[in-house]
Amino acid sequence: MTLWTAKEAVLATNGKTTGDWVANGLSIDTRSITKGEMFIALKDQRDGHDFVANALAAGASVALVSRVPDGVPEDAPLLIVDDVLNALQDMAQFARARTDAHVIGVTGSVGKTSTKEMLRKALSDCGRVHAAERSFNNHWGVPLTLARMPADTDYAVIEIGMNHPDEIRPLAKLADLDVAIVTNVAAVHMEAFESIEQIAHAKAEIFESLNANTTAIVNCDIPTVSILTDMVTKVDAKLVTFGQNKSADYRILKIEGVGAVTKVIADIDGQERMYEFQAAGDHFAMNALAVLAAGVAVGCDLDKVIRGMAKWTAPVGRGARSVVALNDGQITLIDESYNANPSSMASALAVLGACTPTGRRVAILGEMGELGETELQRHGELADLDSVVNVDIFHLVGPMMKEMYNALPVGKRGVWVNSADDLVGQINALLMAGDTVMVKGSNYTRVSRVVDVIKNISA
C-alpha cells in the first residue's frame, strides 16, 4: 500500500527530491526498517544522517534528510528539507488534513498506552483503526504517528505525553482532535512541577484546541477535576465525565475480577451495561470506561465497542500475565516492568494483593523516577498502602527503595539490592512453585531484565 508519493511529500514539506518514488511506510530505525519505507533521519540521541546509507542498503525507498549524508551519492533517493523534525510535522499536518478519520487523543499521568491499546481493540469492529505501535507520545512520536496514518483511516488514536509544561499543547493542536481524554492526574514528573495542580493545568492543554464540535472526556474522581473541566468550558467543547462519582456520565457500579478477566457493570447515561476485558485491575476498568465514552463520541455503536473491548489483553510490561514452568510446578508472572510512579505502583500492588495463588504473592519493585524533592518520602510511603498486607514478600531494587525496605514489616522484607543486575543472579533462589510474582519499576531501573530472567527459568 502506498502511504506517501514523492509528489505528496514535496507538497507537504516544500522539500526537494531526486527522481520519483513511493513509500509504503515511515521508519526512524534501520534495525527494523523494511523494504519500501521512507527513512527519517531525525537527530535525537544520535544523528539519523549517519544511518542513511544503511537504510538505503536495507531497502528504504527514500530518506528524509536536511543534507546529503557522507557516503551517500547525490543522486540517491533523498527528500531534502531545511529541518527533518519540522518536515515530519508538516507531513503529519498533511496526513491529518487528507483523511476523514475521527482522531482521539489520550493523555494522563498513568494509563495512556493501555488506554490507546484498548481503543485500538474496542474500535476494531467499527472501522479501520490507526494507532502507534509503541509509546510514541512525544515531540517526534506524535507527528510520526500522524504521518503514518493512511488516508482511508476511520479512527486514529494518538497518545500524547509530557514531562514539562507546554509540551501537550502543540501536539494536540497538530493532531486536530475530535475527542480528547484525560485518564487521570497524579504526582508524576514532579521534578518539573511544584504541585499536582500544575500537572493538571499541563494535562488540560489537550483541550485548548477543541471547539463546540468536539468532545472532552474527563475522570471526575480526581481532586483536580475542576482545572480540567474549566478548560473544557472555556473552549465550549462537549464534556463527558467518567468514574465512580455519582455525578459521572459513565459511572462504574461494580468491578469483579475472575482470574485474569475483569467484568464491570456501569451506568452509562442512565442505562446499566456490562463490559469485560482480558486483564486484572480496577485502574483498567476506569480506563475502559473512558474508551466506551470515546467510542460513542466518534459515532460508534456501543455494543460493537463493548464487543471489541472484550478482546483486549494487557500489553507487555503493563500487566501482561504468563505462566512459567519450574521443575516442581509453575509460577504466574505479572509483568508491570514498563514504568512506575506512586499511582501505578498502588494499582499494581492492589492487583497482586487480590490474587489467589496456591503459593505466595511476591513483589519485585524497582525505584520510581522524576519525583522531585519528596522522592525518598514517596518510596517509604509505599509500605503504607493497604494492599501491602496481602503481599507476602517484597524484593526491592535501587537506593531509594531502601526507604520502603526499612518501612516494611520485618516479615515482608525479602532482599534489597542496589541494581537489577544484582538481583538477576538470585532469582532462582527467591521464587517457589505456586508463587504469583509481580515485577514493576521505572524504566531506568531495568527491572525488565528480571522479567526476562524469570521467563527463561524453564528454558
- Are 110 and 211 contained in the same domain? yes
- Long-range CB contacts (< 8 A, 24+ apart) of 330-333? 330/433, 330/434, 331/359, 331/431, 331/432, 331/433, 331/434, 331/435, 331/436, 331/437, 331/454, 332/357, 332/435, 332/436, 332/437, 333/437, 333/438, 333/439, 333/451, 333/454, 333/455
- What is the per-residue pLDDT for 329? 87
167 with 215, same domain?
Answer: yes
Confidence grade of residue 18 (pLDDT, cut at 50, 70, 90): confident
Domain annotation covers residue 177: yes
Residues 6+ apart with CB under 8 A from 361: 352, 353, 355, 390, 391, 392, 393, 435, 436, 438
The reply to whether 314 falls in a domain is no
Per-residue pLDDT at 106: 98
Report whether 227 contacts 204 (CB < 8 A). yes
What's the CATH code of the domain at 328?
3.90.190.20
For residue 361, being part of any structural domain is answered with yes
Clarify whether residues 199 and 345 are in a common domain: no
Residue-wise pLDDT tens digits, 139-187: 999 999 999 999 999 999 999 999 899 999 999 999 999 999 999 998 7
End-to-end alpha carbon distance in the chain: 40
Backbone angles phi, psi at 218, to 5 degrees: -130, 135
For the domain that residue 290 is a member of, what is the CATH number?
A: 3.40.1190.10
Most confident of 40-49, 152-161, 191-200, 259-268: 152-161
**pLDDT tens digits for 75-130?**
899 999 999 999 999 999 999 999 999 999 999 998 899 999 999 999 999 999 99
Query: 108 and 54: one domain?
Result: no
Residue 458 has what pLDDT?
61
* Number of domains the chain is built from: 3
Q: Is residue 93 a part of any domain in this protein?
A: no
State mean pLDDT over 222-227: 96
Residues 111 and 252 in one domain: yes
pLDDT tier at 71, thresholds 50, 70, 90:
confident
- Same domain assignment for residues 152 and 265: yes
* Domain end point (choices 262, 290, 309): 309
Angle CA 55–60–64, to nearest 5: 80
The reply to whether 302 and 326 lie within a common domain is no
The answer, yes or no, to whether residue 136 has pLDDT greater than 80, is: yes
Residue 459 has pLDDT above 60, yes or no: no
Residue found under cell 497524579? 186
Same domain, 296 and 261: yes
Say whether both 249 and 305 belong to one domain.
Answer: yes
Say yes or no: 124 and 231 in one domain: yes
Q: Would residue 94 count as lying in a domain?
A: no
Task: Examine residue 90 and state whether it is found in any structural domain, yes or no.
Answer: no
Co-location of 173 and 198 in the same domain: yes
In a domain, 265, yes or no: yes
Q: Which domain range does residue 78 map to?
A: 4-83
- Judge if 246 and 338 occupy the same domain: no
User: pLDDT tens digits, residue range 300-346?
Assistant: 999 999 999 999 998 888 888 899 988 788 999 999 998 888 988 99
The DSSP line for 261-297 is EEEEEEEETTEEEEEEEBS--HHHHHHHHHHHHHHHH
Is residue 73 a part of any domain in this protein?
Answer: yes
- Which domain CATH number covers 12? 3.40.1390.10
CB under 8 Å to 46, separation ≥6 — which residues?
none
| pLDDT (0 to 100) of residue 45 | 82
Question: Model confidence at 74, in pLDDT bands (50, 70, 90)?
Answer: confident
C-alpha distances (whole Å) from 446 to each of 33, 57, 111, 423, 439 are 26, 33, 20, 11, 11
Average pLDDT, the chain: 94
Q: How do residues 364-406 score in pLDDT, each as one tens digit?
A: 999 999 888 889 999 999 999 999 999 999 999 999 999 999 9
- Domain stops at, among 58, 83, 108: 83
Residue where a domain terminates, one of 248, 274, 309: 309
